[in-house]
Each structure stands twice: as structure tokens, then as C-alpha cells.
Amino acid sequence: MTNLLHLDTSIRYEGSVTREISGAFAENWRAANPGGGYVHRDLHASPIPHKDGTDQGISADLIAEVDAADVILIGAPMYNFSIPSTLKAWIDQVATSEHFAREDGTFAWGGKRVVVVTARGGSYKPGTPRESFDFQEPYLRAVLSMVGLDQNLEFVHAELTLADVVPQMHQFRELAVESLADAHRVVKELAGA
């Protein structure tokens, strides 16, 4: 039996692009894996406490969820060019030294599949003016690599999500629609793989 761990981090419910797309992935994955296990953790509705140097008693439960998962789905909107603080708090609780590379270079979590769904108000693709402002994907790639969760890692980006809201971006509305449609197409393919 395969298991999916689904993390949502958006502060929005209505109109959240990451919730929409990660929800589509989860729905398609569950249809393709009818006997699979599914855990959904909404890090905005039930935030994880930030590390404070004490034994908070939360890490073991979170680590057990990662241990049990074959697929980890992370919905991560871009906030101020990075990730939501709720996702950072989760990472701090699970990405501990006990999950770093073993002496032989392997990782306990090395065989897991990870899909990160992002929503970005602008475009941060290579060659765009704001490419260097992307601290979201590079950070997640780096921190996930620390615990071996980068070995089967896919990013699905929905970009230009503010094109309808910011007047200076209205010229990019068609590109935003294309980006959202492409993200939906990609998660459908990934969920069935």
C-alpha cells in the first residue's frame, strides 16, 4: 500500500492556487491509488510550533508521517520571495541531523517521491527580470537535499497569479491562465505516475 502525505501552507482557502492544484494532485493520486493511505496536514489551520530549544513533543509525530509516506505533496505559495513560515516551522521539526546522510551516503528518506506545488505572483523563470529573487525553489531544493528528499523531487509552478490583481501586470493575464492550466496538466500526469 502506498501512502500520500499532503501538506498545505497557504493562508488563503478561497482563491488559493496552491490549495487548488495540490488538491487536484491529491484527488488524482487517490483515484489512481484507491487502497493508498492519505494524510492531509493543513499547516495554516494547525500551525506547527517553531523550535524553541525544548522538547516540544511534536517532532516524533511529524517524522512518523514522513516515515510512513511514499509520496510527499507540498503546497507552497511564494511569500516575499520565499516560503510560508508555517512550512519553515514544519521543516525545522523534521529536517533533523538524525535524517542526514548515513555513513554510506544513503538516506532513510531517500526513496520517497516529493512534489512541490508553488504559486507565484510574478514570474521567476530563467531569463526573467526577477529570476534572482526566487528564494523559494532553491531553498526547498537545498533543505530537502539535506535529508535525502531531493532524489525524486518535482516542482510544479503556477506563475503570474497576481496578473488579475495588479494593474501593471494585466498584460500577463493570458500567460497566467496558461501557467495555471499547465500546472493542472502536470499534476494530473504526476499523480497518475
Known binder of ligand: residue 78? yes
Secondary structure in 3-state letters for 85-119: HHHHHHHHHHCCHHHCCCCCCCCCCCCCEEEEEEE
Known binder of ligand: residue 10? yes
Residue 41's region, left for phi above 0, alpha for psi from -120 to 50, else beta, is beta
Known binder of ligand: residue 38? no
Using the structure block, give the residue that is written with the C-alpha cell 544513503: 106
160 φ/ψ angles, rounded to the nearest 5 degrees: 65, 30
Centre a 10 Å sphere on the Cβ of residue 117 and count the other Cβ atoms it contains. 29
Cα dist from 174 to 163, 164, 182, whole Å: 9, 10, 12
Known binder of ligand: residue 139? no
Known binder of ligand: residue 80? yes
Binding residues: 10, 78-81
Binding-site residues from annotation for FMN: 10, 78-81
